[in-house]
Amino acid sequence: MKGAVHSYLEESIRPFIDLIDTLRSVGIQKDLALPTIAVIGDQSSGKSSVLEALSGVALPRGSAQNELAGKGVGICDELITLEVMSPDVCDLTLIDLPGIARVPVKGQPEDIGKQIKLLIMKFIEKQETINLVVVPCNTDIATTEALQMAQKVDPEGRRTLAILTKPDLIDKGTEKDILDIVHNKVIPLHKGYTMVKCRGQQQIDQKIPLEERPLTVSK
């Protein structure tokens, strides 16, 4: 049955995916919104790790990232495009947006928080975009700014999916509260919540491959 479903999806959806890829390759997304997944969340929420888990690709970090984006601490709305072609990866277009910041660090403009939010809104307000909101488990989801921004542009939660990260940081005694969130009882979303455990910073520093990462998923 799994093979039959896959074959059906491949035959019926593949032409549309190929068409979208062709349109994107000629830069039509500058004038016409194309289906995509925008990843939003606070700084250090685990966005990059979630993207790595989804794509199976180790994203540029540190000095490798500086080579692509420069060493400045500001932001710009110019996309850095990384195309991955492999029979083992999903057909997805993911946009990793800057982490939401509130206090500027040295060298950043005073209104960096406002700049980041405006950039995020530019992408997530498009009806063709699925908003992937990344929230650490030790954060009060009701006050999470990333989810509030997604709710503003998608009040019914039809194109918003939340990813709960860092379950190892859950405080003892709050496990039931987290389960209520995962079971869609706190802030309902049509696409629901998924909890993941990705590579930690120590594992990243130790260059542990993505294939060996501890990954747990709960819905």
Which pLDDT belongs to residue 105?
Answer: 77
Which pLDDT belongs to residue 6?
Answer: 61
Q: Which range of residues forms the domain containing residue 85?
A: 35-218
Same domain, 76 and 22: no
**114-134 pLDDT, tens digit each:** 889 999 999 999 998 999 999
Same domain, 87 and 142: yes
Same domain, 119 and 21: no
Same domain, 59 and 21: no
**3-state SS assignment for residue 28:** helix
Q: Which of 124, 74, 68 is nearest to 97 (CA)?
A: 124
Same domain, 126 and 166: yes
CATH number of the domain that 55 lies in?
3.40.50.300
Same domain, 205 and 151: yes
Same domain, 175 and 207: yes
Which pLDDT belongs to residue 7?
Answer: 72
Same domain, 153 and 91: yes
Which pLDDT belongs to residue 41?
Answer: 93
Helix, strand, coil percentages for the chain (3-state, nearest 5): 40, 15, 45
Same domain, 125 and 103: yes
Q: State the total domains in the chain.
A: 2
Q: How many whole angstroms separate alpha carbon 110 and alpha carbon 104?
A: 6
Cα angle 170-175-177, degrees, rounded to a multiple of 5: 105
Q: What number of other Cβ atoms are within 10 A of residue 99's Cβ?
A: 19
Same domain, 133 and 203: yes
Same domain, 172 and 200: yes
Q: How many whole angstroms separate alpha carbon 141 and alpha carbon 143?
A: 5
Same domain, 9 and 82: no
Q: How many whole angstroms separate alpha carbon 120 and alpha carbon 125?
A: 9
**169, 49 Cβ separation under 8 angstroms:** no
**54, 91 Cβ separation under 8 angstroms:** no
Indicate whether 219 pLDDT > 50. Answer: no
Q: What's the one-letter identity of residue 209?
A: P
1 pLDDT tier (thresholds 50, 70, 90)? very low
